[in-house]
Structure 1
Amino acid sequence: MAAPDISVRAVRTELPGPPVGNAALARRFGMGEAWQSWVDTFVGTANRHYAVDLETGEVRCTLADLGARVGAEALAAAGVEPGEVDLIVLGTASPDELMPATVNVIADRIGVDGVPSFQLQSGCTGAVQALMVAQQALLAGTARTALVLGGDVSYKHLDPTADISGALPAQLVNLVLFGDGMGAAVLSAGAEPGGVLLRRLLLRLSGLGRPPGQTVAWYGASRRADGPAASEDYKAIEDSVPDMAAETMHELLGQVNWKADDLAYLLPPQLSGRMTARIVERMAVTGPQELSCVGEIGNNGNGLLFFQLERLLERIAPGERALAVAIEASKWIRGGLALERV
């Protein structure tokens, strides 16, 4: 007996505040033209969006604020009322508080209640993890309609008044890579007319015996911060992520019995503009159209996959296929999904 179809009915995204370009970032933190040139050339990310005003330090919005807005927009786009949602899931590395879970605050604000809720703490594959939780519930028949959210706000690790003139490269990389943003998708069991079907979802922990590529600390009141809040082994990421992305792509293609030539669109991992170009080169597929956005909006973690999916749903035609890959460096997780409009 064939597994039931799962439809991606709508995807919506939200960015807080105006774009912050590299020149503005350099001016705000007192960095010179050489630093800005390094960002432009070696990082390749032109803009990012922050939930905090860099000039005043005023917080514009929280993760829950973004989630409530984008969740309501996704439901409206899918023609789904809050009372029709059977499951809500959030993937994030930066919840607003340890408790209450941000997913439950979002649910309350958009009028979802009486259903299972899950909040998954993870980096860039948290969106895939959230989609997998929804997928399993829909396949099992315990839910008919799921609202899946993913996003991050990094402003809690950003001090607009900090003197970073002596900062280490690993800390400077985090400053220019990351921004804030969020996305939401509505998934339903069954094939919707004109809908995009989620054909396969892959998730693999691949960090056995490997040190973390990224660390984000969470200090409680009784623990003193004895190091940077966030650090990144960018060299390890440069060396490992392209190969992991290619491995994930081929494994996923094998699972759905597709060839790379069958793909109309490729949604590659989004770390930075320059890094994404290296990843796509290593994946070595020339037919599909690449859907990337990190160079324009910055790396907003679990939100990025939704920004790519939103673009995909606007473009993909009947009969076309797409494959998305996400790689998380914190403890090395590979994820991806195969989609088709039938």
Structure 2
Amino acid sequence: MTEQSFDGRRWAIRGTGAYLPGRRVGSEDLSRAMGLDPGWIEARTGIRHRHVAAAGQAASDLAAGAARDALERAGLRPADLGLIVLGTSTPDELGPSTACRVQALIGARRAAAFDVAAACTGFVYGLQAAVGWLSTQRGGSPYALVIGVEVYSRFLNGRDRATAALFGDGASAAVVGPAPAPYGIGTVALGSDGSRAGDVLIPAGGSRAPASAGTLAGLGHTIHMDGRAVRDFIADIFPRLVAEAADAAGIKPSDLALVVPHQPNPRLVASLAADAGLDPSQLAIAGHEVGNIGAASLPYALDRAVRTRGVEPGELVLLAGFGAGLTWGHVLITWPPPTAPPRVPARHPAALAT
């Protein structure tokens, strides 16, 4: 595996964090509200519950919570950051970037900040942006923060079971910083197919269809998704990403200690393990706890795996993202040794929902 480095430096994930809103909605209750059998959603998706942001709680608020958690785990302060990259499809507003809102909320005054718009692949795209930035800095901060966050509940049509059954709110983050060789983040491979942008999108609210009485009446500000097309895309892209990453590194899928996929439908993704040449035990699946939280889905599953399973130094961890756009990407990480203990013991944000 080729390490991303500059002047002999490697870059690795030095701490992860997450934040979930306090309100939790069970799939049984949601199924009943949609006029379905109580077990309908869980049987088809594996999702048991999802979290919903409080009134007045925006994407930046969730992202700031995840950012603070990740910084604590890395033993760093906001002042140590040189960059904040944030992936989201549900920003606070069309402009400025939600990353700038997060910078102000956490007090990271020295950090540059910007968003990436790659839907559910946003964390992988953001990781590439962070590593590229760090690799060209001379004398600047050697730490970047990559965040994925969504507040999908504001963009759902409650009568559309194809979307309302899947999506939730949440945020997750990772601190990227220096690591000794041979540990670190390998080459990030990214891809897109804009001809299929219509498979899943929020059609109104941008320059093509600005907000109007007509777009509001037509529910143009809610998520529209071709469920069959998206399922077919997932079934094709996930095994392909695993195969491409393994081939590029000269390894077998069985050599991977942990594979962290985006999980819009955790039952579907878990069912693809054999097609990807994986044992189910290699997959980090956490979507049953939170539903599809978009750009936060993959880093949330990584954070849960780090805290519950643990990742040993030298283990190979594959991140495989895919989503609207269409977009996709993968990165293979040789997990680094732990950093110094954090200044303040981190409490996992899932406790906030209990």
* TM-score range for the pair, normalised by the shorter chain length: 0.7 to 0.9
After superposing on structure 2, the runs of 4+ consecutive aligned residues of structure 1 that deviate more than 6 Å are none
2:17 corresponds to: 12
Which of 163, 182, 187 is the matching residue for 2:176?
A: 187
Residues 65-105 of structure 1: CA deviation (Å, up to 9, x unaligned):
11122212211221222222111110000001112321111
Which of 234, 242, 249 is the matching residue for 1:249?
A: 242
Q: Distance in 2 between matches of 1:281 and 1:61?
A: 40
Offset at residue 141 of structure 1 (A) = 2.9
Offset at residue 60 of structure 1 (A) = 5.7
TM normalised by structure 2 equals 0.83
Residues 34-69 of structure 1: CA deviation (Å, up to 9, x unaligned):
xx33322222211111104xxxxxx16211111122
Q: Which amino acid aligns with 1:145?
A: Y
Q: Which amino acid aligns with 1:135?
A: V
Q: What is the RMSD of the two structures over their aligned residues, measured on CA atoms?
A: 2.3
Offset at residue 247 of structure 1 (A) = 1.2
Structure 2 residue 224 is the aligned partner of structure 1 residue 231: yes
1:201 corresponds to: 188
Q: Distance in 2 between matches of 1:312 and 1:99?
A: 34
Q: Which amino acid aligns with 1:46?
A: R
TM normalised by structure 1 equals 0.86
Could you tell which deviates more after superposition, 222-231 or 263-272?
A: 222-231
Q: Which amino acid aligns with 1:173?
A: A
Offset at residue 211 of structure 1 (A) = 5.6
Residues 257-288 of structure 1: CA deviation (Å, up to 9, x unaligned):
22212111121230112221233232131285
Q: Which amino acid aligns with 1:246?
A: P
Asked whether the equivalents of residues 242 and 278 of structure 1 are also in contact (C-alpha less than 8 Å), the reply is no
Q: Distance in 1 between matches of 2:117 and 2:197?
A: 19
Residue 71 of structure 1: SS of its match in structure 2? helix
Matches within 5 A, 1:233-312: 233-286=226-279, 289-312=282-305
Matches within 5 A, 1:87-236: 87-141=83-137, 144-158=142-156, 164=159, 171-191=160-180, 197-205=184-192, 207=193, 209-210=195-196, 212-219=198-205, 220-222=210-212, 224-225=214-215, 226-228=218-220, 229-236=222-229
Residue 5 of structure 1: SS of its match in structure 2? strand
Residue 107 of structure 1: SS of its match in structure 2? helix
319 and 101 in structure 1: CA distance in 2 versus 1, 3 angstrom threshold = closer
Identical positions, percent: 27
2:321 corresponds to: 326
Q: Which amino acid aligns with 1:319?
A: G
Could you tell which deviates more after superposition, 124-133 or 196-205?
A: 196-205
68 and 268 in structure 1: CA distance in 2 versus 1, 3 angstrom threshold = closer
